[in-house]
Amino acid sequence: QVQPVESGGGSVQPGESLRLSCAASGITYRPYCMGWFRQAPGKEREGVATYYSASRPTYADSVKGRFTISRDNAQNTLYLQMNSLKPEDSAMYYCAVASSRYSCQLDYWGQGTQVTVSS
C-alpha cells in the first residue's frame, strides 16, 4: 500500500518561506504524476503544483513565481518550496501520488500538513 507522508508545514509570517516534503512509502514504481494540493476551511481543494508528466510541472496561477515543485526520484520524495508566502496561502497541504507509473489518476493521498501564514 502506497502511503504519502507530508512534513514541513508550520506557522510563518507573510513573506517568509517553507519547504514541504512528501515521502511515499510502499511504492514500487516511479510515478510520472504526483503533486501538491491544498484546501482552506470553507473552500474547495485546489491543485497547487503537479507533475502530469515526467518533466515539466504545472502551477496554479496564484503561486507561479513563488512556489517550486521538485522531486527526488531515487527517494520517491516530492518537495514544494514556498517563498514569499501570503496569508491566502494558509491551508492544509496534501501530497498525491498516482497509482501506477504511467497513470495520472492520483489515488494515494497523504494526511496533510498545515501551513498558516499570518502576522
Strands 113-117 and 91-98: antiparallel
Cα(52)–Cα(49) distance, integer angstroms: 10
- How do the pLDDT tens digits run along the chain, 119 residues long? 889 999 999 999 999 999 999 999 888 888 889 999 999 999 999 999 999 876 789 999 999 999 999 998 777 899 999 999 999 999 999 999 998 888 899 999 999 999 999 99
- Return the pLDDT at 98: 92
